[in-house]
């Protein structure tokens, strides 16, 4: 196999964007995306001015992190409400009495983890979430990081010729390979080795929706690649063979290490990511340890 010189990333330096923040401190966490936010306590009402700056940091850095938060269901929801209405996952269980707070659990004896493939959340629905607020409730002593990949940069790195080919193409998205009765999470092996996260397989997972392969972010106006391995099942108007070769290339291209950020969890950490321009991946490198996360998901709009 021929060795290929690594590509130069045209968007490098994106994360050095420095806005003039008056109420919060914003420290970039990695080169491609991600920033830690200081000066916010979500256990108390957060002022409008601070929320406005958090929204700006979210758009600038794609995923923002908060540390040492006291996380309780009601205050978490009060904080989340500033960013939109809540999405309820159709197939994953929630915290008792709080249907909006999805539970992601890996027990010490579980072999598989939830979200262990690169993806954007819930792209199998017509209006996928704007973003998710993931809270570290019980985290392993080491390992269990979440990785994020910048899909603006994934798009920017394509050649102009490839971009032209993708222009106007739509992809087919579905949860059929994941949450249907024949899907990954319904398989006996998975159920045996992953009792943690409560998942309910359903035939509604076979529904298919169409999204553009390149979406324009509704707030920044930037173009982002918008395909992911578990939920993108084909390209509209193409044979299975044709679409498979393009999708296989794109999902690999979309998650190169140079455009990623790896977030290290501590108890009380929160990651709030923009699901419209990022993919994420939960590392499964902490056998024998328990990891419990709460996820509050914010509704989004139809990708264009
Ligand atoms: Fe996810």
Q: Are 299 and 275 in contact (CB under 8 A)?
A: no
Rounded to 5 degrees, φ, ψ at 52 are -60, -40
Q: What is the pLDDT of residue 270?
A: 98
What is the Å distance from ligand 1's center to 240 Cα? 26
What is the Å distance from ligand 1's center to 280 Cα? 6
Q: What is the pLDDT of residue 257?
A: 94
Q: What is the pLDDT of residue 190?
A: 74
Instruction: Tell the residue number behind the tokens 């401190």, with chain if given.
Output: 25
Q: Which residues pair with 270 in a beta bridge?
A: 66, 135
What is the Å distance from ligand 1's center to 1 Cα? 34
End-to-end CA distance of the chain: 38
Q: What is the pLDDT of residue 28?
A: 94
Q: What is the pLDDT of residue 5?
A: 67
What is the Å distance from ligand 1's center to 50 Cα? 27
Apex 177 CA angle, 176 and 178, nearest 5: 95
The CA distance from 275 to 186, in Å, is 25
CA distances from 210 to 151, 226, 228 (A): 18, 11, 13
Q: Are 129 and 277 in contact (CB under 8 A)?
A: no
What is the Å distance from ligand 1's center to 198 Cα? 14
Half-sphere exposure of 73 toward its Cβ, with a 13 Å CA cutoff?
10
Spans of the chain below 70 pLDDT: 5-14, 16-18
What is the Å distance from ligand 1's center to 232 Cα? 14
Collect residues with CB below 5 Å from ion ligand 1: 115, 121
Q: Are strands 35-38 and 25-28 parallel, antiparallel or unpaired?
A: antiparallel
**Does the domain spanning 14-298 belong to CATH 1.20.1090.10?**
no
Domain ranges for the chain, please list them: 14-298
Instruction: Tell the residue number behind the tokens 């806005």, with chain if given.
Output: 19
What is the Å distance from ligand 1's center to 195 Cα? 18
Q: Are 98 and 211 in contact (CB under 8 A)?
A: no
**pTM of the predicted protein model:** 0.94
Q: What is the pLDDT of residue 9?
A: 65
Q: What is the pLDDT of residue 266?
A: 97
Q: Catalytic site residues?
A: 119, 121, 280, 295
Rounded to 5 degrees, φ, ψ at 102 are -75, 145
Query: Helix (H, G, I), strand (E, B), or coil: what is residue 187?
Result: coil
The CA distance from 101 to 73, in Å, is 8
Q: What is the pLDDT of residue 10?
A: 59
Q: What is the pLDDT of residue 183?
A: 87
């Amino acid at each position: 196999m021929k060795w290929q010189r690594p590509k130069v990333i045209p968007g490098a330096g994106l994360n050095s964007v420095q806005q003039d923040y008056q109420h919060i401190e914003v420290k970039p966490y990695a080169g491609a995306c991600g920033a830690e936010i200081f000066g916010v306590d979500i256990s108390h009402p957060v002022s409008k001015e601070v929320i406005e700056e958090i929204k700006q940091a979210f758009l600038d850095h794609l995923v923002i992190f908060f540390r040492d938060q006291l996380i309780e269901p009601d205050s978490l929801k009060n904080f989340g409400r500033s960013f939109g209405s809540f999405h309820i996952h159709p197939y994953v269980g929630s915290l008792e009495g709080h249907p909006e707070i999805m539970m992601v659990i890996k027990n010490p004896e579980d072999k598989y983890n939830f979200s262990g493939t690169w993806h954007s959340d819930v792209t199998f629905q017509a209006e996928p979430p704007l973003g998710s607020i993931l809270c570290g409730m019980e985290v392993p002593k080491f390992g269990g990081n979440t990785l994020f990949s910048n899909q603006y940069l994934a798009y920017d790195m394509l050649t102009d010729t490839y971009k032209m080919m993708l222009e106007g193409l739509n992809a087919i998205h579905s949860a059929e390979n994941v949450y249907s009765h024949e899907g990954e999470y319904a398989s006996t092996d998975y159920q045996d080795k992953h009792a943690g996260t409560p998942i309910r397989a359903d035939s509604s997972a076979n529904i298919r929706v169409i999204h553009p392969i390149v979406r324009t972010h509704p707030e920044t106006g930037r173009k982002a690649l918008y395909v992911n391995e578990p939920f993108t099942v084909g390209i509209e108007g193409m044979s299975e063979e044709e679409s498979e070769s393009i999708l296989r290339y794109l999902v690999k291209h979309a998650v190169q290490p140079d455009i990623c950020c790896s977030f290290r969890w501590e108890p009380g950490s929160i990651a709030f990511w923009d699901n419209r321009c990022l993919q994420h991946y939960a590392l499964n490198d902490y056998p024998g340890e328990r990891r419990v996360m709460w996820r509050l998901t914010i509704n989004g709009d139809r990708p264009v």
